[in-house]
A and B are shown apart, each in its own frame.
Chain A
Amino acid sequence: MSEAKSTIDRETVEQVAKFGGEHYKYGFESDIDADRAPNGLSEDIVRFISAKKGEPEWLLAWRLDAYERWCTMDEPKWAHVHYPQIDFQDLCYYAAPKSMEDGPKSLDEVDPELLRTYEKLGIPLIEQEMLAGVRKVAVDAVFDSVSVGTTFRDELAKEGIIFCSFSEAVKEHPDLVKKYLGSVIPKSDNYYAALNSAVFSDGSFVYIPPGVRCPMELSTYFRINEANTGQFERTLVIADKGSYVSYLEGCTAPMRDENQLHAAVVELVALEDAEIKYSTVQNWYPGDAEGKGGIYNFVTKRGDCREARARISWTQVETGSAVTWKYPSCILRGDDSSGEFYSIAISNNLQQVDSGTKMIHLGRNTSSKIISKGISAGRSSNAYRGQVSVHPKAANARNFTQCDSLLIGDQCAAHTVPYIEAKNLSAVLEHEATTSKISDDQLFFCRQRGLDPEEAVALIVNGFCRDVLQNLPMEFAVEAQKLVGISLEGSVG
């Protein structure tokens, strides 16, 4: 039996070896003239970016303060990921399509080449009636460092909803930006958040007024095009009292041999009785089969349930990036507030993932739920890192955590690193964890019913992820299911 086993394993390994990055369907590059800052980071570059965007003095001061703090900080080394030292002086911190220099007045003025790029990505920037039965989705598209267009703005404005690029928000709604910027993730929160605070270029801004239920999904699509460019976008979502919004973020990048840095910051603020659902489908270029190229995805995301009965839910499908370092978290400050984290993290080839969440219980009767599904294939490494922390005043806090890992093949790794601390005796915390492998018998069973090996793996993995996929907005759940299959192509023999 052991010999048969080794035959199977060898075949699996050979199949995995055959797999290359060429399956990445978003790997094309667009030929668009860009306006770039000189490489390197200094106070002057921070001033340059701020000037390019015509920012007010207070924001420049904020950036410079962040830069100063960043200079005194060290790169975090605690995550279970390995990559060569990043030369922060060899990166470009600002790139914008040249045609955007004066900024488009409306979508009609957007460079057609840009519109074609987004069309290729399957993201409509032209407002159009969608197919019957499909809800409308408003899109803010961020290309390299700038937002190139936001759809359905007028319709949203009728409800008093603000959905625009971050740069516009600074100009049009400075009071809101000033009040909430950095209020969830302080400038010096961590190394990458400080870097982002100093050089962030653009991103999306959302404000939902009191009592308004946002009538459509809002979404941002991030695209890195320029070579050797970092992308540092910043998203700020504010749901005022009693409001509701569902937000989706998608990401892709061209295939390049060198690594690219993506260090974004996302801040969510939910006030009394408000609810924010934030979903991410992260499909940055993961690098090729030998681990060459790919995005370094070092992202800080945090939501603040600032007042009573606020609810924040993070759902993420992480399939791309060479290295992922990301912990979307919830601060449960308001009494009776709740936070949720649903995650699917898939790693193949030489991808490395260190992802998870933090649930910080501060208020009374707060509850949180964590469902994490990690899938490792090839020679990848996939770690769940989570923290559930109940503070002394958080009476009757509850948490349920379920953390499942699935291994495909015998050269990948899964790690689970949960930190749990309770400083209030009334806390009820549950933690469940499993590790399993797709068995050869399961695969054979599926193949005997006519499924090819890749269909079989996709079916089994989708079953494994079901609890999380169910939480995605319907329009994106189907896409995510397909993506799960594509990401694991070539992972079995």
Chain B
Amino acid sequence: MSALLEISNLQAGIGDKAILKGLDLTIQAGEVHAIMGPNGSGKSTLSYVLSGKDGYDITGGSMQFDGHDLADLQAEERAIAGLFLAFQYPLEIPGVTNMTFLKTALNAVRRGRGEDEMDAASFLRLAREKSRALGMDDDMLKRQLNVGFSGGEKKRNEILQMAMLEPKLAILDETDSGLDIDALKIVAEGVNAQRSPERGMLVITHYQRLLDFIKPDVVHVMANGRIVRSGGPELALELEKSGYADYRGNEAAHA
């Protein structure tokens, strides 16, 4: 069986500035991978390049996702193919209710997958069910998308969108940033509820504490645009103790 995501020798940057410098990563369906690394190692760039954000130049390597060459697909086509990015800083859209946004997104994805759009009643039932499972009250669906949301509410809302869109691969970019411990637990529970044998996850984080709640199968250390070490969950604990100093040194040596 071929991998859900297979990245080989990926090189990408902005203009003349190289950020990803030959990155390899393979994720099988059902696996949860964590990428850790110091600031500036290229973690967020990886999430943007995978999801197709404009402004990045891909200069080498390849990204295969579930039978697609990602480089051939527009951002929205990647979403339709089943790639989901939970944003580090979710955007506000004034005047658009959470409900409207979810419905527009769900139907866009369904249309793209050749399915019928969901009728209003079924949609409402589904949205309520999924949001309650995340401990959100119905009011949150009526509020304007992310406008005036607390950090925790925004992140929970990202997980709600993921639950509605049912992606094959979910990338969580620094989902723990700005969350207190209670909010972190709620978000992690939401993520764990969505683990399944068909779904892969890539959890990008700076700190080990998120991985106390979302147990990864594989942990990678990223530095200077590459995966420099991979191992089991114990690698995260080791990093927690020793920090990224070794890898920073590595970076300096390359620079």
Contact = CB atoms under 8 A, between A and B. Distances in A.
B95 A442 contact: no
Contacts of A4: 14-15, 54-56
Interface stretch (A37-45, A57-65, A275-283, A456-464): A456-464
Interface in B83-131: 84-85, 87, 90-91, 93-96, 100-101, 104-106, 108-109, 112
Interface stretch (B21-29, B71-79, B208-216): B71-79
A463 B99 CA distance: 12
B205 interface: no
A444 B96 contact: no
Given A3-B15, A442-B93, A455 B108 contact: yes
Interface string A447-474: 1111111010001101111110000000
A486 interface: no
Given A7-B55, A445-B87, A450 B80 contact: yes
B85 A1 contact: no
Contacts of A467: 95
Of B54, B84, B106, the most chain A CB neighbours within 10 A belong to B54
Contact of B76 (A5, A447, A465): A447
Given A7-B55, A459-B104, A444 B75 contact: yes
B68 to A, nearest CB: 15
Contacts of A448: 51-52, 75-76, 78-79, 84-85, 87
Given A440-B54, A450-B79, A463-B94, A1 B108 contact: no
Of A440, A447, A462, A467, the most chain B CB neighbours within 10 A belong to A447
Interface in B132-174: 144-145, 161, 165
Nearest to A373: B95
B93 A460 contact: yes
* Chief secondary structure at chain B's binding surface: mixed
B229 interface: no
B55 A464 contact: no
Contact of B165 (A1, A7, A450): A450
B144 to A, nearest CB: 7
Contact of A8 (B51, B54, B75, B104): B54
Contacts of B53: 444
Interface string B32-60: 00000000000000000001111110000
Contact of A459 (B75, B101, B161): B101
Given A445-B90, A450-B79, A463 B96 contact: yes
A441 interface: yes
A308 B39 CA distance: 67
Interface in A312-362: none
Given A3-B14, A8-B55, A459-B101, A452 B91 contact: no
Of A5, A441, A449, A455, the most chain B CB neighbours within 10 A belong to A449
B108 A452 contact: yes
Contacts of B100: 459
A466 B93 CA distance: 12
B164 to A, nearest CB: 9
Nearest to A470: B95
Of A3, A440, A463, A464, the most chain B CB neighbours within 10 A belong to A463
A39 B74 CA distance: 54
B54 A451 contact: no
A186 to B, nearest CB: 40
Contacts of A462: 95-96
B89 to A, nearest CB: 8
Nearest to B79: A450
Given A7-B55, A440-B54, A451 B104 contact: yes
Interface in A175-223: none
Contact of A451 (B15, B16, B108, B144): B108
A446 B161 CA distance: 12
Contacts of A3: 14-16
B220 to A, nearest CB: 23
Contacts of A439: 91
B75 A464 contact: no
B105 to A, nearest CB: 4
Given A455-B104, A463-B144, A466-B95, A447 B14 contact: no
B14 A1 contact: yes
B36 to A, nearest CB: 23
Contacts of A465: 95
B108 to A, nearest CB: 4
B54 A464 contact: no
A453 B76 CA distance: 8
Given A4-B14, A4-B15, A459-B93, A449 B165 contact: yes
Contacts of A8: 54-55
Of B16, B52, B55, B87, the most chain A CB neighbours within 10 A belong to B55
Nearest to A456: B76
B56 A447 contact: no
Contacts of A7: 54-55
B94 A464 contact: yes
B105 A449 contact: yes
A7 B57 CA distance: 11
4 A-B pairs with the lowest CB-CB distances in the bound complex, closest first: A463-B95, A4-B55, A463-B96, A3-B15
27 contacts: A3-B15, A4-B14, A4-B54, A5-B55, A11-B54, A440-B54, A444-B54, A444-B75, A445-B87, A445-B90, A445-B91, A445-B93, A446-B93, A448-B52, A448-B75, A448-B79, A449-B101, A449-B161, A450-B79, A450-B80, A450-B108, A450-B165, A451-B104, A453-B76, A455-B108, A462-B96, A463-B144
Given A8-B54, A447-B74, 7 more contacts: A440-B54, A442-B93, A448-B76, A449-B161, A450-B165, A455-B104, A455-B108
